[in-house]
Structure 1
Amino acid sequence: MLRRLPRGSARSPLPPPAARSAVTAVPLAHAEMGVRGTRPPLVLLHGLFGSHGNFQTVAKALVRRVGGQPDLVERLISVDIGPTSTALISEFPAYISAMKSVNIPAGLSRSTARQLADSQLSSTVQDPQLRQFLLTNLVAVEGRYIWRVNLDAISHHFADIMSFPVFHKPYPGPVLFLGGSNSPYISSKDYPEIQRLFPKADVQFIEGAGHIVHQDKFEDFITAVLNFLPPP
């Protein structure tokens, strides 16, 4: 199902010179797929609880079918998130609480530890695929299993993380908001702000997909992305 709106990604205004001079670059964990060429790259950014490994299968598929992908951002795809606050509809606080409650004895094998954590999360996180996604954050450190994401920091700053800043200048390029039909993260309530900030936006929902769209409906997701990107 495709809904067309007048389209756009807001860009943050540059901070004043004094603030810019205090900014330092931070190295980010990342993975590159394919061979660097003359075309601009296609950049995939994961969401909360994610890591650079989450989109590897998607990235490999796009490299095979697209090759590489000007202005700093030529076009934008927002996957199952709108330019509004999602704190009130998100189930993440419950997931965080459940993850904090997971208790795994030291010395277990990775597979046993994951099975135990999966069982303990199941009463709160009922979707098996979502549990498997969360469990990608379970890592062994000196024989103990811990969450590599900082759950306390996420909890403390959750409202800020799930909010969206106020922008006044719209983004003029083409934008695709690609949501899951079974997810509440993009709704008709978001359309006025989408229209204001992204005047060249299309909104498309993939039937049968939840919040993790690329995992729930992989081929439909790849097809929607390829249809939106310029041809090679």
Structure 2
Amino acid sequence: MKLHSKVKGEGQPLIILHGFLGMGDNWKTLANSYAKEGFEVHLVDQRNHGRSPHDEAFSYDLLAEDLKQYLEEKSIDSASIMGHSMGGKTAMRFATMFPDQVNKLIVVDIAPKYYAPHHQQILDGLTKISEAELSSRSDADELLANYISEKPIRQFLLKNLYWKTQEVLNLRLNLKALKQNIEEVGKGLPQNAKYSGETLFIKGGKSNYIKESDKSDIASHFENFKIKSIENAGHWIHAEKRKEFFSLSLDWLKS
């Protein structure tokens, strides 16, 4: 599968993988900052997201294979890889399948364990938007507000809107495939999946995605890891505490 991406800067390759229902563009501001520090930043849209192709099949093995193919297309032998949430799971799976192609690994606010589906309300809201054939972003926001009260989350989700025709907005997401594969999105790493390279887990101090009790599970997959917490940040650490996140991640990438 030929993934869509935006590339910024020149230097050491850094692949950034967005979370569920996101797209590479979500990381645009940070990508510019890494680019200024000597990185060639690849903002990749994963399958069924952003401008990448749609496919009914969806699993972390497939997402890792997609990324391997992407690196081959770009003639990249190895890269540092950073992934948030679902993107973090892809990054972990890729590192355990193709360890020689990873320089540094950064996993943002996700553990290698199973997470029960918890996006139902968001998916219901997005389904309503896709069925409504709306003609303005404000109408879409109003409709989504019936399902999601937090405006920043709505703004993030509404980045998926595009003009299907001159009058009608639609979503870039392959909503049907993502809903059908919601169990896959929550799946953990296979038991035998292991990676011995340097791995940094960055968690939000207010987020419960990585708990103290997850450390032993992380250690069973990753030999050489650190967990750093950013205080007063929720799950969207990179958006909520951009400066702190950038400083912490850059130190790791350059160490």
TM bin, normalised by shorter chain, reads 0.7 to 0.9
Secondary structure class of the residue paired with 2:143: helix
Residue in 1 that maps onto 2:142: 119
Matched, 1:59 2:31: yes
Residue in 2 that maps onto 1:158: 182
Matched, 1:180 2:152: no
Amino acid at match of 1:60: N
Q: 1:96 aligns with which of 123, 127, 136?
A: 123
Q: Indicate conservation of the 8 Å contact 1:104/1:116, yes or no.
A: no
Counterparts of 2:193 and 2:187, CA distance in 1: 18
In terms of fraction of residues, the more strand-rich structure is 2
Matched, 1:215 2:244: no
1:200-222: CA deviation from partner (whole Å, max 9, x where unpaired): 11112212222221111110110
Q: What are the residue-to-residue correspondences of 1:135-146 with 2, within 5 Å? A: 135-142=158-165, 143-146=167-170
Residue in 2 that maps onto 1:86: 115
Relative contact order: is structure 1 or structure 2 higher (C-alpha 8 Å, sep ≥ 6)? 1
Gaps of 5+ in 2: 42-77, 79-99
Residue in 2 that maps onto 1:4: none
Give the TM-score taking structure 2 as reference length: 0.71
Q: Indicate conservation of the 8 Å contact 1:104/1:145, yes or no.
A: no
Which stretch of structure 1 is more off in the superposition, 129-138 or 222-231? 222-231
Residue in 2 that maps onto 1:230: 254
Counterparts of 1:44 and 1:216, CA distance in 2: 17
1:86-143: CA deviation from partner (whole Å, max 9, x where unpaired): 225x3x111001111236555x3xxxx2212112222322221111110001111122
CA shift for structure 1 position 66? 4.2
Secondary structure class of the residue paired with 2:227: strand
Q: Indicate conservation of the 8 Å contact 2:197/2:224, yes or no.
A: yes
Secondary structure class of the residue paired with 2:195: coil
Counterparts of 2:107 and 2:38, CA distance in 1: 19
Q: Indicate conservation of the 8 Å contact 1:66/1:226, yes or no.
A: no
Gaps of 5+ in 1: 1-25
Structure with bigger gyration radius: 1
Counterparts of 1:120 and 1:68, CA distance in 2: 39
Secondary structure class of the residue paired with 1:223: helix
Secondary structure class of the residue paired with 1:183: coil
Mark the CA change 1:94 to 1:27 in structure 2 (over 3 Å): closer, same or farther.
same
What root-mean-square deviation, in Å, do the aligned CA atoms of Structure 1 and Structure 2 show? Answer: 1.9
Secondary structure class of the residue paired with 1:192: helix
Counterparts of 2:122 and 2:237, CA distance in 1: 18
Give the TM-score taking structure 1 as reference length: 0.77
Matched, 1:42 2:14: yes
Matched, 1:204 2:228: yes
Counterparts of 1:126 and 1:185, CA distance in 2: 21
Residue in 1 that maps onto 2:194: 170
Report how many aligned residue pairs link the two structures.
196
Which stretch of structure 1 is more off in the superposition, 75-84 or 202-211? 202-211
Amino acid at match of 1:61: S
Mark the CA change 1:169 to 1:83 in structure 2 (over 3 Å): closer, same or farther.
closer
Structure 1 residue runs of 4 or more that deviate by more than 4 Å after TM superposition: 103-106
1:146-200: CA deviation from partner (whole Å, max 9, x where unpaired): 2111222111110112112314142111111112122222112321110111121
